């Protein structure tokens, strides 16, 4: 089968105009894309919060407040108002609250693993290491069975309170 076509009668179509609504929609989409890109850049920047007073700027009253809390736990333990596990739990809570205030980050619910992930450079090199060491030292007496873990059983509340006080004193 052969097909023949007379091309002399074919005429091109008139140029089609682009509808105005389509041009407006494209312009709005471009402006929206630019606005969203700018918002993403602005919102992805870290927030700058004022640092808590530290070192020479921290007053003696700041550390005295934490020492009073530690001394209160020891006094209540020695008076028999709280037991050994409660005393260790309260000392660990004091460390977490102190670290939260000192760093400006909420660390009250941090676990030992969470503290291990805190970057060293966020605050002085030794501060975060001392924080990790203090929490790690408080964990065995707080959670371990004193009969099964001899070190945990030998650690006293006063000794642990000294660790917390040392952290408060040495924090820069």
**For residue 68, what pLDDT band results from cuts at 50, 70 and 90?**
very high
This prediction's pTM = 0.57
Region 103-131: mean pLDDT is: 72
40 φ/ψ sector (left φ>0, alpha ψ -120 to 50, else beta):
alpha
Distance CA 111, CA 3 (A): 83
- pLDDT tens column, 33-54: 999 999 988 888 776 655 555 5
- Give the pLDDT confidence score for residue 57 in this predicted structure: 47
Which of the residue ranges 28-42, 63-77, 155-169 would you say has the lowest mean pLDDT? 155-169
**For residue 140, what pLDDT band results from cuts at 50, 70 and 90?**
low
- Give the pLDDT confidence score for residue 158 in this predicted structure: 87
Distance CA 158, CA 48 (A): 39
Between 150 and 43, the more confident residue is 43
Is residue 97 within 8 Å of 135, Cβ to Cβ? no
Q: How many other β-carbons are positioned within 10 Å of the β-carbon of residue 139?
A: 15
- Give the pLDDT confidence score for residue 123 in this predicted structure: 46
């Amino acid at each position: 089968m052969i097909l023949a076509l007379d091309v002399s009668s074919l005429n091109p179509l008139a140029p089609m105009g682009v509808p105005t609504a389509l041009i407006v929609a494209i312009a709005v989409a471009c402006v929206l894309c630019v606005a969203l890109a700018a918002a993403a850049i602005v919102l992805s920047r870290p927030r700058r919060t004022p640092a808590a007073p530290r070192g020479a700027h921290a007053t003696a009253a700041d550390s005295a407040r934490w020492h009073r809390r530690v001394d209160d736990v020891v006094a209540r333990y020695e008076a028999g108002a709280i037991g050994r596990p409660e005393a260790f739990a309260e000392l660990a809570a004091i460390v977490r609250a102190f670290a939260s205030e000192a760093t400006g980050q909420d660390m009250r619910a941090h676990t030992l693993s969470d503290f291990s992930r805190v970057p060293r450079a966020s605050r002085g090199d030794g501060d975060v290491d001392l924080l990790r060491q203090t929490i790690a030292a408080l964990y065995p007496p707080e959670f371990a069975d004193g009969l099964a873990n001899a070190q945990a059983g030998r650690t006293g509340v006063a000794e642990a309170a000294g660790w917390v006080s040392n952290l408060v004193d040495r924090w820069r």
